Structure 1
Amino acid sequence: MRATPPFRADHVGSLLRPPELLAARAAHAEGRLDPDGLRAVEDAAIRDVVAAQERIGLQSVTDGEFRRASWHMDFIYRLGGVVQTDQRIEVRMRSDRGETAFTAAGLAVAERVHLAEPIFAEDFRFLAAQASSALPKLTIPSPSMVHYRGGTAAIDRSVYPEIDGFWDDLSAAYRDELHALYDLGCRYLQLDDTSLAYLNDPAQRAAFAARGEDADAAHLRYIRQINAAIADRPADMAVTTHMCRGNYRSSWAAEGGYDFVAEALFSELAVDGFFCEFDDERSGGFAPLRFVPPGTMVVLGLVTTKNGRLEDPDVLKRRIDDAAKHVPLEQLCLSPQCGFSSTVEGNVLTADEQFAKLRLIVEVARDVWG
């Protein structure tokens, strides 16, 4: 087993919100519960879910993203210079039950991007105080998501006449955030990124190009900017990235393997590990992993969070063997393909089914890696 992250049995981060937390959120939204009351309910729920993760045997724990409504916008709107707009952005989603849509507020870059104050600082402090046997992991959206959500059209060109200035400031803000989190004790940071997976889908690239973006080279820009953000991270701080094709109420937005971005992504993005979803044919095969350099870890997202059906452990082991034909077994780990609740609504499965999947991951990892 590994002593440093990512771990042989790991997980992406978000977890199903318990009923009492959902009720508290609703009461807060209706003005029946004040912010202190809501935070007290959140605190209790996080204590319970951290203890549950440690009982299962996970070596990393998160707060389940219990204080967030969504995995990315709660962070992005707190970046200096980024503002929420009245524009409504609709993302078409698909699932085994048919088509749906996720609608969110828009964003604009109205001032120079900067870190006004460390984001999620108090949230991480509380998480770290609850962890006893496991390493606390914080998840935040990658720099790519600030651009991919609104595109260049969302950037005020009177603020950034040259777009390179926006990218420089964005990476600098993320560098400041990373170092602030390190000073708080964070040693495991995960950058969540859908753009690097979406761009493998020809339909997504066509839609991106229709917005006036360079769909063929966007992933190269995103890789450069993430690298600029993490380049001087402390040696004892692990940074990974998680890439998925959308996760909202058990639905997804994109399809296709990692082939389009694979060579540049796996050989150039200087993270310590890649969390890659591989739960079904929608994510393609393992061949793109041949570009992963020695020493970089790949966390195979073989266990789906889209439904509660428990995977066969023997099938998981065979799939790990298949992946090991492209990247050495000692560079592999196991996880769910995504979070269980990327938004507050959560995926279509029960809490018992969620924890059964996490236990399965721990058990299979022990069998495979010992």
Structure 2
Amino acid sequence: MADDFQYHIDHHGGLVRPVELLTARASGDAGAIAAAEEEAAVATAHEQRRLTLSAVSDGQFRREHFESVVYDHVDGFETNAGFENGAGGHELADLAGIAPARRRSVRGPLAAKSRLADHEAEPLLRTVDRPVFVALPSPGYLALLSDPAGDPATVARIGDELAAIIRSEIGALAAQGVAHVALGNPLLVPLLTVDGRRRVPAADALLDAAVAADRAAVTGLDAPAHFRVGLDLTDHGPFATTEHGYDTGALEQLVAGTPFHRLGVDFPADPARRLPFDDIPAGIAVSFGIVDVSTPEPEPMDDLLALADEIADRRSLDDVAFAPNAGFAPSATAPLMTADEQRAKLQRVEMVCRYYWGNEI
């Protein structure tokens, strides 16, 4: 029987906000909003459990967008008018499709003013009998995102500050009983792909700085033996810079000696756009994003099973998970599908996993 702690049936944490929560937010009543957030988080976790997903999240319903779990709890960030109106000139973020509203600049020393995600994990740990996971933006990602000039020294300095903050939060989540933390860094994709590296000056140095910050956040954690930390390279559907594939040397920079237990990647139908997973060392579980969140149309099962078959012949069962290719809601205001359409997508993931592991999950 497959081991649930390998997280075979996977997703990325961000889910479509339910209508009841959106209605409460529109009311402006702080008490009603807080109650609706907790009710929605617990309800969606039970829904994930019924879908037999290997770990459950709170849907990130309390976040304005993926990154706000840090922006809201760390002093030193500021809204940049250039970012907000799209005039920030951030080549790397533009290549990765990160919306300007999700970007912040750094105005001073960074310091956590409170825990980042305890309020997301606590209701689930209290009420849902299933492993709980939390997705956080990685320090390398936020450092890259905050510096439109793309200066490796600046990225390294900001990354060091953020690594200490996020490392403390990961340790606290592990102590709280969370089973898995996924650090999201979609800006690594342009730094790993042939097309992206052609467009980004100092790509190697920026990759080194981001990778160092992300590793610093997880190296030497005081956490239970079963606790897992992953690195998620997805964001919201296929990346534009993957047309001519990935740079082998850059991928080696990322994975050689990595402390991460798992790697989340998009796995599109076009083989030329795929990260070459044969280059990922054994022992690192690869979560393959085979279900596309950028369209509400469900994929034909035969197509998904064909993708699974390609992987089955080349990777150990213990080193594979299947997932959507990104979160379903990178922000509170940008759902691309209904809750029912989202459920159908997650059911596709479950069905592929039951096929892949011989109906034993």
TM-score normalised by length of structure 1 = 0.83
Change beyond 3 A, Cα 1:137–1:164: closer
Change beyond 3 A, Cα 1:24–1:281: farther
Tell me what 1:97 maps to. Answer: none
- Measure how far apart 1:343 and its partner are: 1.1
CA distance in 1, matches of 2:146, 2:183: 18
**Structure 2 counterpart of 1:275, from 259, 264, 268:** 264
RMSD: 2.8
Tell me what 1:30 maps to. Answer: none
Tell me what 1:238 maps to. Answer: 228
Q: Which has the higher helix share?
A: 2
CA distance in 2, matches of 1:163, 1:59: 35
**Structure 2 counterpart of 1:184, from 176, 199, 205:** 176
Tell me what 2:110 maps to. Answer: 113
Task: Give the SS at the match of 1:61.
Answer: coil
Which range moves more in the overlay, 233-242 or 188-197? Answer: 233-242
Structure 2 residues not aligned, in runs of 5+: 87-92
> Is contact 1:223-1:269 (8 Å) kept?
no
Tell me what 1:199 maps to. Answer: 191
Change beyond 3 A, Cα 1:11–1:93: same
The amino acid across from 1:36 in the alignment is G
Change beyond 3 A, Cα 1:326–1:220: farther
> Is contact 2:298-2:345 (8 Å) kept?
yes
**Structure 1 counterpart of 2:306, from 309, 318, 337:** 318
The amino acid across from 1:41 in the alignment is A
Superposition pairs of residues 199-218 of structure 1, within 5 angstroms = 199-201=191-193, 204-205=196-197, 208-209=200-201, 214-218=202-206
- Measure how far apart 1:190 and its partner are: 0.8
**Structure 2 counterpart of 1:51, from 24, 46, 50:** 46
Tell me what 1:131 maps to. Answer: 128
> Is contact 2:37-2:62 (8 Å) kept?
yes
% identical equivalent positions: 25
CA distance in 1, matches of 2:324, 2:21: 23
Change beyond 3 A, Cα 1:163–1:331: closer
- Measure how far apart 1:109 and its partner are: 2.4
Change beyond 3 A, Cα 1:137–1:154: same
Superposition pairs of residues 52-201 of structure 1, within 5 angstroms = 52-89=47-84, 90=86, 102-104=99-101, 106-132=103-129, 134-151=130-147, 165-201=157-193
> Is contact 1:317-1:364 (8 Å) kept?
yes
- Measure how far apart 1:202 and its partner are: 5.3
CA distance in 2, matches of 1:165, 1:173: 13
> Is contact 2:179-2:228 (8 Å) kept?
yes
Residue deviations 1:264-309 (CA, integer Å, cap 9, x gap)? 22333321111111134397135x2122112110011001111122
Change beyond 3 A, Cα 1:264–1:4: farther
Residue deviations 1:229-266 (CA, integer Å, cap 9, x gap)? 1011223320012112x42xx78664443435322223
The amino acid across from 1:290 in the alignment is D
- Measure how far apart 1:313 and its partner are: 2.5
CA distance in 2, matches of 1:367, 1:204: 35
> Is contact 1:71-1:141 (8 Å) kept?
yes
- Measure how far apart 1:162 and its partner are: 7.9
Which range moves more in the overlay, 180-189 or 308-317? Answer: 308-317
> Is contact 1:227-1:270 (8 Å) kept?
yes
> Is contact 1:307-1:348 (8 Å) kept?
yes
Task: Give the SS at the match of 1:88.
Answer: helix
**Structure 2 counterpart of 1:225, from 213, 216, 236:** 213
Change beyond 3 A, Cα 1:326–1:368: closer
Structure 1 residues not aligned, in runs of 5+: 28-32, 95-99, 156-160
Tell me what 1:340 maps to. Answer: 328
**Structure 2 counterpart of 1:263, from 223, 247, 252:** 252
Change beyond 3 A, Cα 1:144–1:280: farther
CA distance in 1, matches of 2:356, 2:169: 36
Change beyond 3 A, Cα 1:206–1:21: farther
> Is contact 1:187-1:238 (8 Å) kept?
yes
Task: Give the SS at the match of 1:104.
Answer: helix
CA distance in 2, matches of 1:88, 1:221: 22
Which range moves more in the overlay, 261-270 or 101-110? Answer: 101-110
> Is contact 2:179-2:227 (8 Å) kept?
yes
- Measure how far apart 1:346 and its partner are: 3.7
Change beyond 3 A, Cα 1:218–1:283: farther
TM-score normalised by length of structure 2 = 0.85
CA distance in 1, matches of 2:104, 2:282: 39
Tell me what 1:297 maps to. Answer: 285
